[in-house]
Amino acid sequence: MDELCDGLIKMKRAMAGTEKAIAYLRKLFDEADQDHSVTLSKDEFQEMFSTPAVRQKLSSIGVSSDDLEDIWAAVDAADTDDDGISPEEMISGLLSVKDADSVSTRGINFLLQVFKSADKDGSLQLNREEVTQAFYTDVVNYKLHKLGLVVPDWLNIFSAIDIDNDGELSWEELKRGMTAMWS
């Protein structure tokens, strides 16, 4: 009984910071949603976090700048309707970032952002040159190392994860391969 009570107290304390972050994010969302559409575009979402005062406040309640990027990545990865970001999607993104067991998910969400950036022609495929330019960067190495994830030699694994052997990687191929590697 004592262990159960101690565990519940620890959970409550841990959630106190998250509850403050959720309340503050809801307040920010309401202020940023000037047209009262109950959704924000990507630009509106990122603008919401652009001021130093907001970043400082979020930092003081346990949401770092890296967390903000990861929240966007989580929201974008889960967003299937392209209608904008709802408050619930934003909160879900925060909770997934705060989940200690979500390290590989955070890595996958980050890679999705890199993939989308590299897919300049909108083909939903990356060739070897695009993979080289996008994934062999200090930003990618830093982020994956910071998450504690193995940074592969992207071209060495290219053929192994190119399941249909078409010489290009789709997002699904990359996601499947990296999920397997990190699990």
Amino acid 160 reads A
User: If you ran DSSP here, which 8-state letter would residue 164 be given?
Assistant: T
Q: Which residues pair with 85 in a beta bridge?
A: 40
The DSSP 8-state label assigned to residue 85 in this structure reads: B
CA atoms of 92 and 78, how far apart (whole Å)? 9
CA distances from 29 to 49, 59, 90, 182 (A): 10, 17, 9, 34
Tokens encoding 76: 């974008």
Nearest to 29 by CA among 107, 77, 80, 92: 92
What is the tens place of the pLDDT at every residue in 4-35? 888 777 766 666 667 888 888 899 999 988 88
pLDDT tens digits along 36-53: 888 888 888 888 888 888
Each residue's pLDDT tens digit, 51-110: 888 888 888 888 888 888 888 888 888 776 667 888 888 888 888 777 766 788 889 999
Quote the pTM value. 0.69
Domains assigned to the chain? 2-98 (1.10.238), 103-182 (1.10.238.10)
Retrieve residue 156's tokens.
Answer: 């060495």
CA dihedral 99, 157, 114, 87 (to 10 degrees): -30
- Partnered with residue 125 across adjacent β-strands are 170
